[in-house]
């Protein structure tokens, strides 16, 4: 396996799941073997990838009721460990010694089958997100050029520092990706510059590629398709392809 990547931001509505789906789908288009893991109880990634609700989910894997091999679904779109709404209570039932390592341990038997593992996380900094960070080599932070994203990045960094100290010293913030971006407004440009400066302080970078606002993204979600399949000529498709190229070049 080359890398497990968690896509993380505790702020909702900034394109976290959209980015996780596009990154994994884009890597598949390049011929890489990809496993998606949906740890968000909302299950939006699982929906887009047409998960079968009868199969074991991340809930059963994290609570030792199913082996990961038996829980992975293979669909025409992807290999997927699907979410469960019951993951909302994860902080209450994933407890005890080693609770931060549940996902990492579960992944060990399948690492040789995949080049990349893409983990979608909930919009919260609880045990599910900590499990994702502990199991990953890299983090991508989707963000918007607004003040709330800036505040969220600072809070997220405190959690990342704690994970690096206690459970995963090799964890690295690969970069911050601006989504739903409009470079034509002065406010967006100013805030992008501030986020870029913040990225440097966190020993990471703001990716040069930005993802423009695009109605095709919402249409693709409704149709349960990734952006490359649904609208290959759209701005979002072009932007995510450019981002994946940048991500791979700057590992």
- In the chain, what are the domains? 3-249 (3.40.50.300)
pLDDT at 185: 60
Answer for the pair 172, 205: CB distance below 8 angstroms, yes or no.
no
In angstroms, the Cα distances linking 146 to 6, 111, 142 are: 22, 37, 12
Give CA–CA dist 61/218, Å, rounded. Answer: 30
Q: What region does 165 belong to: left with phi over 0, alpha with psi -120 to 50, or beta?
A: alpha
- Token digits of residue 101: 């390592």
Report mean pLDDT in 10-residue bins for the chain, 251 residues.
Answer: 92 88 97 97 95 90 93 92 96 92 95 96 94 97 81 86 95 92 63 82 89 92 95 96 94 69
Give CA–CA dist 1/95, Å, rounded. Answer: 28
In angstroms, the Cα distances linking 221 to 16, 47, 170 are: 13, 9, 34
Helix (H), strand (E) at residue 34: strand 34-38
What is the DSSP pairing of strand 73-74 with strand 79-81? antiparallel
Give CA–CA dist 229/59, Å, rounded. Answer: 29
Give CA–CA dist 5/180, Å, rounded. Answer: 21
Q: Which residues of 52-89 are buried (b: 16+ CB within 10 A; e: fewer)?
A: eeebbbbbbbbeeebebeebbbeeebbbbbbbbeebee
In this prediction the pTM is 0.94
Give CA–CA dist 249/83, Å, rounded. Answer: 31
140 forms beta bridges with 7, 175
């Amino acid at each position: 396996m080359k890398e497990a990547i968690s896509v993380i931001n505790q702020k909702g509505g900034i394109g976290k799941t959209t980015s996780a789906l596009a990154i994994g789908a884009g890597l598949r288009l390049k011929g890489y073997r990809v496993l998606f893991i949906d740890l968000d109880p909302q299950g939006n990634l699982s929906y887009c990838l047409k998960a079968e609700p009868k199969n074991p989910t991340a809930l059963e894997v994290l609570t030792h009721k199913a082996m990961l091999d038996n829980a992975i679904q293979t669909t025409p779109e992807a290999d997927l460990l699907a979410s469960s709404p019951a993951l909302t209570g994860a902080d209450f039932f994933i407890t005890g010694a080693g609770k931060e390592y549940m996902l990492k341990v579960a992944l060990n038997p399948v690492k040789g089958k995949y080049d990349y593992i893409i983990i979608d996380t909930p919009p919260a900094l609880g045990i599910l997100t900590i499990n994702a960070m502990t199991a990953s080599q890299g983090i991508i932070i989707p963000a918007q050029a607004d003040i709330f994203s800036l505040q969220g990045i600072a809070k997220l960094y405190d959690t990342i520092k704690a994970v690096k100290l206690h459970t995963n010293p090799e964890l690295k913030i690969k970069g911050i990706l601006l989504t739903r971006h409009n470079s034509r407004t002065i406010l967006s440009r100013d805030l992008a510059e501030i986020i870029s400066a913040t990225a440097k302080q966190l020993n990471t970078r703001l990716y040069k590629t930005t993802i423009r606002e695009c109605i095709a993204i919402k249409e693709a979600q409704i149709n349960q398709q990734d952006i490359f399949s649904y609208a290959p000529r759209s701005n979002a498709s072009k932007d995510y392809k450019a981002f994946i190229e940048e991500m791979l070049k700057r590992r």
